[in-house]
Protein backbone atom coordinates (compact mmCIF):
# COMPACT_ATOMS: atom_id res chain seq x y z
CA UNK A 1 0.00 0.00 0.00
CA UNK A 2 1.39 3.40 -0.98
CA UNK A 3 2.23 5.81 1.83
CA UNK A 4 -0.02 8.85 2.29
CA UNK A 5 2.86 10.73 3.93
CA UNK A 6 6.51 10.14 3.08
CA UNK A 7 9.19 12.03 5.02
CA UNK A 8 12.72 11.64 3.69
CA UNK A 9 15.82 13.01 5.46
CA UNK A 10 14.09 16.21 6.60
CA UNK A 11 16.12 18.82 8.47
CA UNK A 12 15.17 22.25 9.76
CA UNK A 13 17.01 25.04 11.55
CA UNK A 14 16.21 28.55 12.72
CA UNK A 15 18.48 31.59 12.97
CA UNK A 16 18.49 32.91 16.54
CA UNK A 17 20.04 36.35 17.31
CA UNK A 18 23.00 35.94 19.64
CA UNK A 19 22.32 39.41 21.11
CA UNK A 20 18.80 40.62 21.76
CA UNK A 21 17.89 44.23 21.01
CA UNK A 22 14.63 45.16 22.67
CA UNK A 23 14.78 48.91 23.31
CA UNK A 24 15.07 51.82 20.84
CA UNK A 25 18.43 52.75 22.41
CA UNK A 26 19.81 49.25 21.84
CA UNK A 27 18.73 49.33 18.20
CA UNK A 28 20.23 52.81 17.62
CA UNK A 29 23.60 52.00 19.21
CA UNK A 30 23.75 48.64 17.45
CA UNK A 31 22.84 49.86 13.97
CA UNK A 32 26.46 49.87 12.78
CA UNK A 33 27.31 46.56 14.39
CA UNK A 34 26.47 43.47 12.32
CA UNK A 35 24.01 41.28 14.11
CA UNK A 36 25.24 37.77 14.79
CA UNK A 37 22.96 34.78 14.54
CA UNK A 38 23.20 31.31 15.95
CA UNK A 39 21.91 28.32 13.95
CA UNK A 40 19.49 26.34 16.05
CA UNK A 41 19.09 22.86 14.55
CA UNK A 42 15.55 21.74 15.35
CA UNK A 43 15.23 18.66 13.11
CA UNK A 44 18.08 16.52 11.84
CA UNK A 45 17.63 13.90 9.10
CA UNK A 46 14.10 12.74 9.97
CA UNK A 47 12.62 9.91 7.85
CA UNK A 48 9.41 7.89 8.21
CA UNK A 49 6.28 7.00 6.26
CA UNK A 50 2.60 6.73 7.12
CA UNK A 51 0.09 4.53 5.30
CA UNK A 52 -3.68 4.75 5.08
CA UNK A 53 -5.48 3.69 8.25
CA UNK A 54 -2.38 3.82 10.47
CA UNK A 55 -2.07 5.78 13.70
CA UNK A 56 1.45 7.07 14.28
CA UNK A 57 2.38 8.33 17.75
CA UNK A 58 5.02 11.00 18.23
CA UNK A 59 6.61 11.53 21.63
CA UNK A 60 9.47 13.69 22.86
CA UNK A 61 10.46 16.10 25.57
CA UNK A 62 9.83 19.83 25.22
CA UNK A 63 12.16 21.22 22.58
CA UNK A 64 12.67 17.88 20.84
CA UNK A 65 11.23 19.14 17.53
CA UNK A 66 7.67 17.74 17.65
CA UNK A 67 5.85 21.00 16.87
CA UNK A 68 8.23 21.91 14.06
CA UNK A 69 7.80 18.47 12.50
CA UNK A 70 4.01 18.77 12.62
CA UNK A 71 4.11 22.21 11.00
CA UNK A 72 6.29 20.88 8.20
CA UNK A 73 3.87 18.00 7.62
CA UNK A 74 0.96 20.47 7.48
CA UNK A 75 2.78 22.81 5.07
CA UNK A 76 3.24 25.67 7.54
CA UNK A 77 7.05 25.42 7.42
CA UNK A 78 9.25 24.29 4.54
CA UNK A 79 12.15 21.96 5.37
CA UNK A 80 15.71 23.23 4.83
CA UNK A 81 16.74 19.83 3.51
CA UNK A 82 14.99 16.63 2.59
CA UNK A 83 11.56 16.06 1.13
CA UNK A 84 7.97 15.61 2.34
CA UNK A 85 5.37 14.06 0.07
CA UNK A 86 1.71 14.24 1.15
CA UNK A 87 -0.96 12.66 -1.05
CA UNK A 88 -4.00 13.15 1.21
CA UNK A 89 -5.90 16.00 2.81
CA UNK A 90 -4.76 16.85 6.34
CA UNK A 91 -6.87 18.23 9.19
CA UNK A 92 -4.42 19.70 11.72
CA UNK A 93 -5.24 20.53 15.32
CA UNK A 94 -2.00 22.23 16.34
CA UNK A 95 -2.67 25.53 18.07
CA UNK A 96 -6.11 25.86 19.61
CA UNK A 97 -7.93 29.08 18.90
CA UNK A 98 -5.88 30.07 15.83
CA UNK A 99 -8.28 31.68 13.35
CA UNK A 100 -11.06 32.39 15.87
CA UNK A 101 -12.67 35.82 15.84
CA UNK A 102 -13.27 36.83 19.49
CA UNK A 103 -15.91 39.36 18.45
CA UNK A 104 -18.08 36.65 16.90
CA UNK A 105 -20.20 34.15 18.79
CA UNK A 106 -19.60 30.40 18.82
CA UNK A 107 -21.96 29.64 15.93
CA UNK A 108 -20.37 32.20 13.60
CA UNK A 109 -16.90 30.95 14.57
CA UNK A 110 -17.90 27.36 13.84
CA UNK A 111 -18.91 28.41 10.32
CA UNK A 112 -15.69 30.40 9.95
CA UNK A 113 -13.30 27.67 11.10
CA UNK A 114 -15.31 24.94 9.40
CA UNK A 115 -14.87 26.74 6.08
CA UNK A 116 -11.13 27.14 6.73
CA UNK A 117 -10.91 23.39 7.39
CA UNK A 118 -12.64 22.62 4.10
CA UNK A 119 -16.28 22.12 5.08
CA UNK A 120 -19.06 23.61 2.97
CA UNK A 121 -21.56 25.90 4.68
CA UNK A 122 -24.23 23.23 4.21
CA UNK A 123 -22.00 20.62 5.87
CA UNK A 124 -21.34 22.94 8.82
CA UNK A 125 -25.06 23.68 9.20
CA UNK A 126 -25.84 19.97 9.16
CA UNK A 127 -23.33 19.24 11.92
CA UNK A 128 -23.72 22.45 13.93
CA UNK A 129 -25.89 21.03 16.71
CA UNK A 130 -23.61 18.01 17.12
CA UNK A 131 -20.50 20.23 17.24
CA UNK A 132 -22.00 22.47 19.94
CA UNK A 133 -23.20 19.44 21.88
CA UNK A 134 -19.81 17.73 21.63
CA UNK A 135 -18.11 20.90 22.91
CA UNK A 136 -20.71 21.25 25.69
CA UNK A 137 -21.40 24.90 24.82
CA UNK A 138 -25.04 24.76 23.62
CA UNK A 139 -26.14 27.28 26.26
CA UNK A 140 -23.41 29.70 25.18
CA UNK A 141 -23.80 29.36 21.40
CA UNK A 142 -24.65 33.06 21.01
CA UNK A 143 -22.00 34.29 23.45
CA UNK A 144 -19.01 36.07 21.92
CA UNK A 145 -15.86 33.99 22.07
CA UNK A 146 -13.95 36.69 23.94
CA UNK A 147 -16.11 35.80 26.95
CA UNK A 148 -15.31 32.07 26.74
CA UNK A 149 -12.93 30.43 29.17
CA UNK A 150 -9.83 28.78 27.67
CA UNK A 151 -11.38 25.38 28.38
CA UNK A 152 -14.60 26.22 26.52
CA UNK A 153 -12.67 27.56 23.53
CA UNK A 154 -10.45 24.46 23.48
CA UNK A 155 -13.43 22.11 23.52
CA UNK A 156 -15.06 24.05 20.68
CA UNK A 157 -11.87 23.95 18.59
CA UNK A 158 -11.56 20.18 18.95
CA UNK A 159 -15.27 19.67 18.29
CA UNK A 160 -15.02 21.52 14.97
CA UNK A 161 -11.88 19.66 13.95
CA UNK A 162 -13.33 16.27 14.89
CA UNK A 163 -16.27 16.96 12.53
CA UNK A 164 -14.21 18.41 9.66
CA UNK A 165 -11.89 15.46 9.23
CA UNK A 166 -10.21 14.84 5.92
CA UNK A 167 -8.14 11.71 5.25
CA UNK A 168 -5.37 12.48 7.77
CA UNK A 169 -6.00 13.92 11.22
CA UNK A 170 -3.12 15.48 13.19
CA UNK A 171 -3.85 15.62 16.92
CA UNK A 172 -1.57 17.49 19.33
CA UNK A 173 -2.25 16.56 22.97
CA UNK A 174 -5.95 15.95 22.25
CA UNK A 175 -6.50 13.75 25.30
CA UNK A 176 -5.19 16.44 27.65
CA UNK A 177 -8.07 18.85 26.99
CA UNK A 178 -11.02 19.25 29.31
CA UNK A 179 -12.18 17.06 32.16
CA UNK A 180 -12.36 13.27 32.25
CA UNK A 181 -15.81 13.27 30.64
CA UNK A 182 -14.69 15.33 27.65
CA UNK A 183 -11.51 13.27 27.25
CA UNK A 184 -13.65 10.14 27.19
CA UNK A 185 -15.75 11.65 24.39
CA UNK A 186 -12.58 12.49 22.45
CA UNK A 187 -11.38 8.92 22.81
CA UNK A 188 -14.74 7.58 21.59
CA UNK A 189 -14.74 9.97 18.62
CA UNK A 190 -11.18 8.98 17.77
CA UNK A 191 -12.22 5.31 17.85
CA UNK A 192 -15.02 6.10 15.37
CA UNK A 193 -12.62 7.87 13.02
CA UNK A 194 -10.10 5.06 13.25
CA UNK A 195 -12.80 2.47 12.52
CA UNK A 196 -13.82 4.53 9.49
CA UNK A 197 -10.29 4.19 8.13
CA UNK A 198 -8.87 7.64 8.88
CA UNK A 199 -5.12 8.01 9.23
CA UNK A 200 -3.96 9.75 12.41
CA UNK A 201 -0.78 11.36 13.74
CA UNK A 202 -1.09 11.56 17.51
CA UNK A 203 1.31 13.66 19.58
CA UNK A 204 1.25 13.20 23.33
CA UNK A 205 3.37 13.39 26.47
CA UNK A 206 1.04 10.83 28.04
CA UNK A 207 2.13 7.21 27.46
CA UNK A 208 -1.42 5.86 27.82
CA UNK A 209 -2.92 7.04 24.47
CA UNK A 210 0.31 6.17 22.66
CA UNK A 211 0.21 2.61 24.02
CA UNK A 212 -3.55 2.32 23.53
CA UNK A 213 -4.08 3.79 20.08
CA UNK A 214 -0.78 3.67 18.20
CA UNK A 215 0.45 0.54 16.45
CA UNK A 216 3.67 2.44 15.77
CA UNK A 217 5.39 5.46 17.31
CA UNK A 218 8.60 7.47 17.13
CA UNK A 219 10.51 9.21 19.90
CA UNK A 220 12.23 12.51 19.13
CA UNK A 221 15.17 13.82 21.11
CA UNK A 222 17.32 16.76 20.06
CA UNK A 223 15.65 16.85 16.65
CA UNK A 224 16.49 13.25 15.79
CA UNK A 225 14.55 9.99 15.91
CA UNK A 226 15.81 8.25 19.02
CA UNK A 227 13.38 5.31 18.96
CA UNK A 228 11.04 3.81 16.38
CA UNK A 229 8.80 0.88 17.21
CA UNK A 230 5.45 -0.13 18.66
CA UNK A 231 3.45 2.38 20.69
CA UNK A 232 4.09 0.42 23.86
CA UNK A 233 7.82 0.21 23.22
CA UNK A 234 8.26 3.91 22.42
CA UNK A 235 6.14 4.97 25.41
CA UNK A 236 8.44 2.90 27.60
CA UNK A 237 11.57 4.44 26.06
CA UNK A 238 10.09 7.91 26.61
CA UNK A 239 9.53 7.21 30.30
CA UNK A 240 13.08 5.85 30.58
CA UNK A 241 14.36 9.04 28.96
CA UNK A 242 12.49 11.22 31.44
CA UNK A 243 13.86 9.21 34.36
CA UNK A 244 17.45 9.31 33.11
CA UNK A 245 17.32 12.93 31.98
CA UNK A 246 19.48 12.08 28.97
CA UNK A 247 19.46 10.38 25.62
CA UNK A 248 20.50 6.96 24.46
CA UNK A 249 20.27 5.34 21.06
CA UNK A 250 17.14 3.24 21.25
CA UNK A 251 15.88 1.85 17.97
CA UNK A 252 12.91 -0.35 18.71
CA UNK A 253 12.61 -4.06 18.00
CA UNK A 254 9.64 -3.28 15.74
CA UNK A 255 11.44 -0.61 13.73
pLDDT one-digit tens code per residue, 132-176: 999 999 999 999 999 998 888 888 888 887 887 778 888 877 666
* Residue 252 pLDDT exceeds 60: no
Full set of structural domains in the chain with CATH: 3-89+166-244 (3.40.50.300)
pLDDT on residue 96: 54
Q: Which of 58-72, 213-227, 241-255 has the lowest mean pLDDT?
A: 241-255
80: which strand partners? none
Burial class (CB in 10 A: 0-12, 13-18, 19+), 58: buried
pLDDT on residue 176: 64
Q: Could you give phi then psi for residue 70, rounded to 5 degrees? A: -60, -40
> What rounded mean pLDDT belongs to the chain?
84
Instruction: Kindly report the pTM of this predicted structure.
Output: 0.78
Burial class (CB in 10 A: 0-12, 13-18, 19+), 188: exposed
Mind listing the pLDDT tens digit for each residue in 37-56? 678 889 999 999 999 989 99
Amino acid sequence: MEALIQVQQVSKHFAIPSVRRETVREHLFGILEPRRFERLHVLDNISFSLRAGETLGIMGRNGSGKSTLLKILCGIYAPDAGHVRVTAGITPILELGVGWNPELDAIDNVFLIGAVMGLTLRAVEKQLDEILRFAEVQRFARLKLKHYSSGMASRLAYAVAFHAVREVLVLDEIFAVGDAGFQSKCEARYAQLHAAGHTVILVSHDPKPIKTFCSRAILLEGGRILADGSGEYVAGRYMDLLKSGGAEDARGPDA
